[in-house]
Amino acid sequence: MLEAKHQAPIRLNDPTLWIDDSLVNDEWVALEQVPRFPVTNPATSEVIGTVSDMTVEHCREAIDRAHEAFKTFSKTTPQFRADLLQDFHQLVLANKEDLAKLVTLENGKSLTDSIAEVKYAASYLQWNSGEALRLYGRTIPSSLPGTRNWTQLEPVGVVAALCPWNFPIGMICRKVGPALAVGATVVIKVPAETPFSVLALIELARRAGVPPNVLQVVTTDTHLSAIGDELCTNKKIKKISFTGSTRVGKLLASKSSSTLKKLSMELGGNAPFIVFEDADLDAAVAGALASKFRGSGQTCVCANRLYVHESIHSVFAAKFAAAVDAMKVGNGLDEGTHLGPLIHEKAVAKCVEHVEDALKRGATVVTKQRPTPSRGAFFNPVVLADAPQDCLLTDEETFGPVAALIKFKTEDEVINLANDTDFGLAGYFFSRDAARIFRVADALETGMVGVNTGVISQAVIPFGGIKESGWGKEGGAEAILDFCKVKAVIVGGGK
């Protein structure tokens, strides 16, 4: 049986943030007689530590504890919760270097990307500290004589947060932030690939003063499906917030139908990135780099199909390829690294499949060949010019550092191509034509549109998609409603 190490494999400013125990009744404990599963550094293929492979029974106990904690936490004042989130926010920023190192160690992304993720995560805690004080109801003029109407917002109950490995800190804070703001408790299903950064984050939440059992953590690997079923069918869970693939999202939605839970689904994407003939090419190249290659291309809003007007295709391809060639590939902990490894070899195999398919259909590689690191799940970035519309990567989310440039002739043509997908999370385009900006922003069938920028996600905007990219919002004023019940109160007896 694998054993706990209790010592970080990397130097941390605060070594106590390396946690491989389980949180039970607000204490970190080693679960006796519970198997452990290994966590691997994708840059080296080395095991960095182990965590408990918790079972359905452990999950059920966590739900029960969160349910009991809800009875008191839901009665706390908005000011208390606002102060709590502000303290949590400050602790995350104060420990951003350690959190970033843990993210890079188990996820592989560059330390620069990890630092950016921690700051991004903290921004959701700060934003929701303000939202806690803005839980406004409404007074509604009555159509019945002698009555008064109003609405009030109440916490939804126990929330199940199922989070992905690509933004382990960011996605937790994006879900926990609004939950804590309204007075809900949360059971967090930790991604098996990246548990250590999440456990450190939860320890900071405890230090910030989050009351006992308000946040529950379930680590699992072999019991993932069974625990997912429990979260979907347990009547004490009132809402599920999921970030992940559309395939899994559909399964969770189906299983949750038995109890009609409230659902937020941030699912797969197939983002179009359009460069019109009147675009600022240098700005478009910078935007494409940011959108396509952040996290080595493993983001849900990543540009997946790059449409470039035929009149500028060659010039853009040359500029873009040169910029990609200048990016350093390596261990994310090494100074100067832009692109780290992919999360595992399956991700590498998908990138290989997409590139080989595009080449067979007439695409050409315009980036330079470079040696691949001898170990780890690495895939060197590739830019493909003259890619056809019918290749695999136009229909499937690559989730890796492969950028395919597809020519188009007219605005109407590219809008049709961009919308010809079952997904609708994000879309991007570059143009200096003011009238076109309004037309195309209206025409793209996505939940979010980036215009002359490749970076869109912020705590202050509603993040979410349409079509098979899911429903519900995280961020902005809209997100808080997904964690609330709206109650109408009608009072009679007036004169």
Q: What is the pLDDT of residues 133-144, one digit of tens each?
A: 999 999 999 999
**Other C-beta atoms within 10 Å of 260: how many?**
8
Q: Which tokens sit at 184?
A: 């809900």
Name the residue among 192, 164, 381, 413 with its Cα closest to residue 307.
413
Pick from 173, 163, 243: nearest CA to 465 = 243
Let me know: does 181 contact 81? Beta carbons within 8 Å.
yes
Q: Tell me the β-bridge partners of 215.
A: 186
Instruction: Give the pair of three-digit tokens for residue 291.
Output: 């959108």
Low-confidence ranges of the chain (pLDDT < 70): 1-5
Helices (H) and strands (E) in the chain, counts: 14, 22
* C-alpha span between 383 and 264 (Å, rounded): 34
Cα Rg, the chain, nearest whole Å: 23
- Note the Cα 469 to chain centre separation in Å: 13
Contact of 358 with 387, CB cutoff 8 Å: yes
Residue-level pLDDT at 3: 54
Instruction: Specify the pLDDT at position 1.
Output: 47
Q: In 3-state terms, what secondary structure has residue 135?
A: coil
φ, ψ of residue 364 in degrees (nearest 5): -130, 145
pLDDT in the model for residue 93: 98
As a whole number of angstroms, the distance between CA 387 and CA 384 comes to 6
- Between the two ends of the chain, the Cα-to-Cα distance in Å is 74
Q: What whole-number distance in Å separates Cα of residue 406 and Cα of residue 386? A: 6
Instruction: Give the pLDDT confidence score for residue 6 in this predicted structure.
Output: 72
Contact in structure between 224 and 244 (CB atoms under 8 Å): no
Six-digit token string for 181: 């703001």
Contacts of residue 147, defined as CB under 8 A and 6 or more positions apart, other chains included, come to 490, 491, 492, 494
Q: Comparing C-alpha atoms, which of 127, 99, 125, 126 is closest to residue 113?
A: 99
DSSP string, 210-268: PPTTSEEEEE-STTHHHHHHHHHH-TTEEEEEEES-HHHHHHHHHHHTTTT-EEEEE--
Q: pTM, whole model, 2 decimals?
A: 0.96
| Confidence (pLDDT) at 2 | 52
Q: In Å, how far are 52, 253, 271, 293, 492 from 194, measured between CA atoms? A: 13, 24, 25, 20, 54
Q: Is residue 299 a contact partner of residue 116, using CB atoms and an 8 Å limit?
A: no
Rounded to 10 degrees, the C-alpha dihedral 200/84/67/59 comes to -10
Q: Which residues are catalytic?
A: 266, 300
